[in-house]
Amino acid sequence: MHEMSLCESVVGLVEEEARKGGFSKVRTVVLELGALGHVEPEAMLFCFEAVGRGTIVEGARLDIVRVPGAGWCLDCGKTVPLTERFGACPDCGRHRVQMTAGDELRLKELEVE
Ligand SMILES: [Zn+2]
């Protein structure tokens, strides 16, 4: 389950922010998660709690914001929505679409005390 190591890096990022920002208690962690990445939100929630025990995020809420997939269609010359990683363009039906969004795993916001 790679969500475990992803959560470890998230906790690492929060600890880094805490050092810089001088806070020691986190209430909410807001994480952006791309819809096309291979990360299960439920697994992230579970791992976050497990990995967070005894760290700065213990007891904090993990708030996952899903980022919808999008890509740039070379044939249409515009951004189109993507529902799968190598999906076809919904307008022209071709597969010359480069993914531009949907793969993110980003620490978006921290609510601290
Ligand atoms: Zn197209």
pLDDT (0 to 100) of residue 39: 92
Question: What is the structure's pLDDT at 15?
Answer: 97
Distance 35 CA to ligand 1 centre (A): 20
pLDDT by residue (tens digit) across 101-110?
999 999 999 9
98 CA distance to ligand 1 middle (Å): 11
7 is in an annotated binding site: no
Q: What is the pLDDT of residue 38?
A: 87
Q: What's the gap in Å between 66 CA and the centre of ligand 1? A: 24
Q: What are phi and psi of 107, to 5 degrees?
A: -75, 115
Q: Give per-residue burial for 36-68: e unless 16+ CB within 10 Å, then b.
A: beebeeeebbbbbbebbeeebbeebebebeebe
**Annotated binding-site residue? 76:** yes
Ranges under pLDDT 50 in the chain: none
